Structure 1
Amino acid sequence: MHSKADTRWVWIAPLLVTLGLQMAAAYILRVVPTLAPALAQELGWGEGTAGFLASIGMVGSIVFLLIGSPLTRRFGPVRASQIGLLISAAGAVMLSWPTAAVAVLASFFIGFGYGPSTPAGTDILHRYTPAARRNLVFSIKQAGVPIGGVLAGMVLPVALVQGGWPAVLGAVLLPTLIVVLATQALRGQVDAGRDIAQAVGLRTFLALDNIRTPLLALARSPELLKLSFAGVWLSIGHGCWVAFLVSFAVIRMGYSLEMGGVIFAIMQLTGIFGRIVLGALADRANSVAVLRANTVASAVTTLALVFAAPDWPLAALVVVVGIAGVTVSSWNGVQVAEISRRAPAGLVAEATAGATLLIFAGYVFGPICFSLVLSFSGRFDVAFALVALATLLALWNLRGLDR
């Protein structure tokens, strides 16, 4: 029999599991943007390579969110996340064949494997986390995204330069296997409620009712739709920063690939702090007010890159990038927690999948549009100015949600 104190802290182990799975998924997802300049050179593509391949990855995530719910129900959220990690790692292995068709397919698999991370993690934490701590706990879990980004930025470019693709593959596969094995310890407890009668064949995945489930869960509440579309505009800004920051540092600012990785890691590092701070603020204040303030700050930070030039001192760029880790990339934990709070009873995972699906659409179209602007104009400043304007549109969707 558990004591009251034991019950109070029962959420910590599930949080550590979801944090580890989220961190590993994000680490693999960042393979493409952190190595984008090298991939572009190998493939013979232009400056928009990062945005195009990142968008293909998000298409893969969207496909999982549309069809993957039966997998989570049948095997449980921990096992679904573990399967996703192995699929993503297989996609990363495929990148070692430097052909355009394989790079596109590899990016799709990396994104498809990333798909379970948010809805599965949300389902776990919603069941175990006290309501009073929900924003903070969800934000800590989402901090796994920038933690994975820090590791990717610091490890992968150096691995490629020092040891080529074999070193990159080792740097991806080893931590993936470690996380899969480490999270297995809690799988039996967390996945105990899985539906072993749930069919998981191709017919089930492609059934119209299955594909519609995430969006129908959102459609039950206009508030959920407004929150989700606010996330679309915020994800456009975040997606463009993540996809193009290393390319911007190398091509526009003139730094090496290794230094570009360090700059990318700085943004991810401050994002860890930012997500936890915003989550704590949202637990003590109004979540929607926090999201509004963050929207304005995100747009202002993006505008700073419009004026960045090669004669800027490194310290100035580091300051802007560090601020961006808080303002551009730290909103998601608060938003996911608020969607979880407002979701229909029994449909938390489905509503989160629907919201994440829409957010990932922003991660697809943002970098694609950025790539197009960059291809036609050759100017990062014009592209970032448009990103800042798009970010501000989130304020329209956040109207009337204070309660």
Structure 2
Amino acid sequence: MTSSRSNTILVVSFLILVQATGALAGFWLPAIATEIAEDLDLNASLITYPVLLLYICAMISSLFAGGLVSRFGAWRSSQLALMCMGISHFMFMEGSLLLIALGSSVLGGAYGLVTPAASHLLAKVVTSKNRNLIFSIRFTGVPIGGSLAGLIGPPTALNFGWQQSMAITIIIAVLLCIVMQPFRDRWDEDRCASSTILRNPTSDLKLVWSLIPLRWLALSGLCMGAIQTTLTTFTVNMLVEDLDYTLIAAGIGLSTVQFSSIFGRVAWGWLADRLNSGLLALMCISLIAAMCAFATTLLSSSWSHLFVYSLCFVFGLVGMGWNGVYASEIARLSPKDDVSKTTGASFFITFSGVFLGPVLFTSAYSVTQAYNTTFVVTTVIALLAYIFIDKAKRTLVKAGKN
């Protein structure tokens, strides 16, 4: 497959839409949690459990993504992910706790498919000069979809009912799946009908672990995943409880984090290509993240809003802007025919950080009783990410492959 500009634009455009639809689907429940809680007579904080279930299933499906991509092709796997997104929201529409749980599981299965399939397709169209930028542009679908969920979800749920609001994601997912169909044969020409779908789920993990640079890179992804989740989970709590912000003012801080990540993903991808080193860019990201986390430990109510929001902006640039370069480096360091397998396994490790980050942070908070002080944990995790990336780089230099 040639890496012409038209091919690149076509693939990246569809993959951004798939990623944005996934983010829209994933953030929709949290965005309307209060409406769901009121209707079902539950505490809104219980939305944590469907989200947790989503990520557990995403971890599991990511290990099987390589087999699906090999058997049906990455394009069809992306369509399958879209259909699962639509099915999950159709299940949510029923309104029972059981189907919300089952729907979250289905949505998690879709989540785990998206990135391995996307990396497989992008590997066909990128060049060594634009690889990091293209991978990073694809990941802008996450904040785009998340922002749309926050903007569209609440008013739709209020005006039409939270169950009826699910129709939006269903319609978008189905339409995008249909529009993608004419291009399927062209982009799935490397599929193999004899490939096994249900394989030993540890085989891809063993592959990643056997490739030493990939092993260290995946461990850095675990750390960065922990940082990203900690940042998005505890920013509002920290601003409200430690700095005496109103909920609206704290929401602006979180929005600043999310908004800056759009620029961060593209900027870091561009810089990695200019440096001709994604690993060097990731080292810069982790080091700046450590600085931001440490600066957060020093925050107090006496600091100006402008400075605090500026810190949120920079923290968002690094704490949520690393994904594209990370996925690009996984593809670069992987055997050509195993990109989807190594990506799935690496993101299984990354998703593990999604759990570990909040758990470690919450445990530390029980001791410090202050959110800003607890960001010292995030500082340490960021420094660990730097060390792991450095080890990956040194391994490549030693092998003469950097």
- TM-score (norm. length: structure 2): 0.84
- Letter matched to residue 255 of structure 1: L
- Pair 1:283 & 2:280 matched: no
Whether 2:186 is the aligned partner of 1:194: answer no
Pairing 1:242–2:232 present: yes
Percentage of identical aligned residues: 23
Contact map agreement 1:302 1:385 (CA 8 A) in 2: yes
Residue of structure 1 equivalent to 2:283: 292
d(CA) in 2 for partners of 1:37, 1:237:
26
Alpha-carbon separation, structure 1, partners of 2:129 and 2:161: 48
2:349 aligned partner: 358
Partner of residue 138, structure 1:
135
Distance change (3 Å), C-alpha of 1:289 and 1:50? farther
Match of 1:391 in 2: 382
**Counterparts of 2:101 and 2:296 in 1: how far apart (Å)?**
29
Counterpart contact for 2:85–2:173, Cα < 8 Å: no
Match of 2:399 in 1: none
The residue aligned with 2:173 is: 176
8 Å CA contact 1:295–1:391 kept in 2: the answer is: yes
Deviations 1:77-132 (A, max 9, x none): 12212222222333344445666655444333222211111110000010121222
Aligned AA for 2:351?
A: F
Answer with 79-88 or 55-64: which moved more: 79-88
What is the SS of the residue equivalent to 2:166? helix
Please say if residues 217 and 347 of structure 1, whose CA atoms lie closer than 8 Å, have aligned partners that are also in contact.
Answer: no
Worse overlay, 332-341 or 24-33: 24-33
Number of residue pairs matched by the alignment: 390
Normalising to structure 1: TM-score of the pair? 0.83
Unaligned runs of at least 5 residues, structure 1: none
**Match of 1:73?**
70
Aligned to 2:325: 334
- What does 1:2-401 align with in structure 2 at a 5 Å threshold? 7=4, 9-35=6-32, 44-45=42-43, 49=46, 52-95=49-92, 102-166=99-163, 168-198=165-195, 200=197, 205=198, 207-208=199-200, 211-245=201-235, 253-255=245-247, 264-285=254-275, 286-306=277-297, 315=306, 318-370=309-361, 379-401=370-392
Change (3 A) 1:311 1:227: same
Once superposed, what is the RMSD of the aligned Cα atoms? 3.3
- Tell me: CA distance 1:392–1:36, structure 2 relative to 1, closer, same or farther (3 Å): farther
Measure how far apart 1:397 and its partner are. 0.7
Residues of 1 paired with 2:343 and 2:119: CA distance? Answer: 7
**Shift of residue 241, structure 1, vs aligned partner:** 2.5
Contact 2:95/2:163 (CA < 8 Å) preserved in 1? no
User: Cα distance, 1:276 vs. partner?
Assistant: 1.0
Q: 1:169 to 1:365 in 2, by over 3 A?
A: same
Q: Would the aligned equivalents of 1:134 and 1:283 in 2 still touch at CA under 8 Å? A: yes
Alpha-carbon offset, residue 20 of structure 1: 1.5
- Report deviation, 1:168: 3.2
Q: Offset of 1:141 from its aligned partner? A: 1.0
CA-CA distance at 1:378 after TM superposition: 6.5
Q: Which amino acid aligns with 1:357?
A: F
Aligned to 2:396: none
- C-alpha distance in 2 between matches for 1:115 and 1:255: 33
